[in-house]
Structures are given as structure tokens and as C-alpha cells.
């Protein structure tokens, strides 16, 4: 039987307590700790810093009277799993992941948004929660809010399946590596995912979506394209300001729709 959580219990990694969240039920999860303040202030210019520990930096925003937590996760599935475990225990029931990505399909352009409906589970962390046959699918309502937000703001966007890899280099079939070698299981995989209409590579969605379904909470994923795979191996940092602005604009509008219920009408 679960012990009742006290308001002042601080969780080991995120260093947050229920009291610090002030009733927040929704969290926005960027990967980069350096993106947290910018995202929080785009949601609420008066957002406040809470705490920073390891890869987990948190700010608290207010949107139309609703508290929203913005908490970084770092890179990859294992750190996402820790964050979700602790935030779910603190009462968070809706998780929006925002990040950057490399597109696979030729029709997708730099700066476009990709809204993930489901993920190819190329990670290991999600298998600690459910067998590989268990699907990694996004929550319908949260995904709808992201789609409606991007449409409302006229931000170019695409929806579909993402390939979610544990590694940035071999798992995404990059050859600009120390050895220039990609293990055989990943050789040709980029073209295979392209043929199977997978839209992009990223590193967190399969863990996020699998765990959310297992926990009975909601999760969705939106990413901004900063690399076009097949044309370039390395992301283009010059696009980051546009990528971050589009992500922040989209998530603020999506949160507004989600928190008011307008996206379900």
C-alpha cells in the first residue's frame, strides 16, 4: 500500500515537493536546462525559479490562473523516466515534451514542428516499464491541443511517427563519429524508417509515451526541426532562435487550449 505523500516531501532528483508545485497538474518538459527559463517566461513573464539539481531545472508559471511546471529532463530516456516517476508522484497528470529533432522525410523543412503521434521504440528505458510489443502512443487530447495550437498560429507542422533512439550517433545512423562505424543493425535504418513514413529522429518520446500510458497519465510530444537528415549530419544552431520561439509559442497556445478545455470542442 502506498504511503500518503506529505506536502513537504522533497524528491531526490528533481528536488521538488508537492507544496512547491502550488497545485500544478501540468508539466512542460524541455531537455535543455538552459531552455527552461525562456520557455517559462514565454508562458508567463512573471514565472518564478524553483530549483536546479543535476539536469533537472524547474520554474513555475501561471497561465490564466493555472499553475504550470516547466522542468528540464536532460538528454535521453533514462533521465526522462526519473523525471516522470517523481513528477507523477507529485501529482502531475499531463506532460508536454518539447525539443529539437532531425527530420527524415524530404518534404519537411528546417524550423517546421513535428507533433509525434507514436514512437518507434529504439530505446532501452521504456522496456523497463513494458515489453517491446507495448505501443508508445501519444495522448489524443494533448496531441489535439498541439495540432490546434500550431494551426491557430500558422506554424508549419507535421504529425506522425518518430524514431526514438537511445543514442545520437549510431542509433540514428550517423557516420561522423569517432570510428565512422555504425553497427550492422543500424546500417540502412534511416532509409528503412523513411520508407516506413517515420518523420524524424529524437531521443525521448518512446520512453515518455510508454511510461505515461503505463502510469495512466497523459503525454504528448512536439519538436522543432533543426537538421534535415540525408542532407546534413550535424544540427544547424543558427536555426535555434526560430526553433525555440516556435516551440514556446506553440506550447503556450496548446496549454491555453488544454487548461480551458477549448481544444476538445
pLDDT one-digit tens code per residue, 15-51: 999 999 999 999 999 999 999 999 999 999 999 999 9
| Separation of alpha carbons 257 and 132, rounded Å | 33
Is 229 a residue of the active site? yes
Q: Name the pTM for this structure.
A: 0.95
Per-residue pLDDT band at 129 (split at 50, 70, 90)? very high
Catalytic residue among 55, 86, 244, 253: 86
Is 121 a residue of the active site? no
Q: What is the mean pLDDT of residues 108-127?
A: 97
Per-residue pLDDT band at 2 (split at 50, 70, 90)? low
Nearest Cα neighbor of 253 from 209, 226, 222, 213 is 222
* 135 CB-near residues (< 8 Å, 6+ apart): 118, 210, 213
Is 174 a residue of the active site? yes
Is 246 a residue of the active site? no
What are the domain boundaries of the chain? 18-264
Catalytic residue among 13, 37, 41, 233: 13
Check: CATH 3.40.50.1580 for 18-264? yes
Catalytic residue among 35, 229, 252, 258: 229
Catalytic residue among 121, 174, 246, 252: 174
Structural contact between residues 251 and 45, judged by C-beta atoms closer than 8 angstroms? no
| Separation of alpha carbons 172 and 164, rounded Å | 9
Amino acid at each position: 500500500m502506498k504511503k500518503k505523500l506529505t506536502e513537504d516531501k522533497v524528491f531526490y532528483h528533481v528536488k521538488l515537493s508537492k507544496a512547491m508545485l502550488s497545485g500544478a497538474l501540468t508539466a512542460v518538459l524541455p531537455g535543455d536546462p538552459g531552455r527552461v527559463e525562456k520557455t517559462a517566461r514565454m508562458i508567463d513573464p512573471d514565472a518564478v525559479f524553483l530549483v536546479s539539481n543535476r539536469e533537472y531545472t524547474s520554474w513555475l508559471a501561471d497561465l490564466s490562473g493555472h499553475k504550470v511546471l516547466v522542468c528540464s529532463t536532460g538528454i535521453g530516456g533514462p533521465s526522462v523516466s526519473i523525471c516522470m516517476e517523481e513528477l507523477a508522484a507529485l501529482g502531475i497528470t499531463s506532460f508536454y515534451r518539447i525539443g529539437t529533432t532531425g527530420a527524415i522525410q524530404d518534404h519537411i523543412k528546417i524550423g517546421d514542428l513535428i507533433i509525434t503521434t507514436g514512437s518507434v521504440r529504439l530505446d532501452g528505458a521504456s522496456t523497463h516499464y513494458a515489453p517491446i510489443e507495448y505501443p508508445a502512443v501519444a495522448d489524443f487530447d494533448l496531441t489535439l491541443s498541439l495540432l490546434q495550437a500550431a494551426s491557430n498560429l500558422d506554424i508549419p507542422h507535421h504529425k506522425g511517427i518518430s524514431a526514438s533512439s537511445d543514442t545520437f550517433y549510431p542509433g540514428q545512423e550517423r557516420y561522423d563519429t569517432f570510428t565512422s562505424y555504425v553497427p550492422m543493425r543500424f546500417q540502412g535504418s534511416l532509409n528503412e524508417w523513411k520508407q516506413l513514413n517515420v518523420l524524424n529522429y529524437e531521443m525521448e518520446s518512446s520512453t515518455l509515451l510508454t511510461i505515461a500510458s503505463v502510469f495512466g497519465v497523459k503525454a504528448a510530444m512536439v519538436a522543432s526541426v533543426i537538421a534535415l537528415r540525408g542532407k546534413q549530419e550535424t544540427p544547424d544552431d543558427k536555426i535555434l532562435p526560430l526553433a525555440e520561439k516556435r516551440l514556446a509559442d506553440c506550447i503556450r497556445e496548446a496549454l491555453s487550449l488544454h487548461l480551458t478545455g477549448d481544444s476538445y470542442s
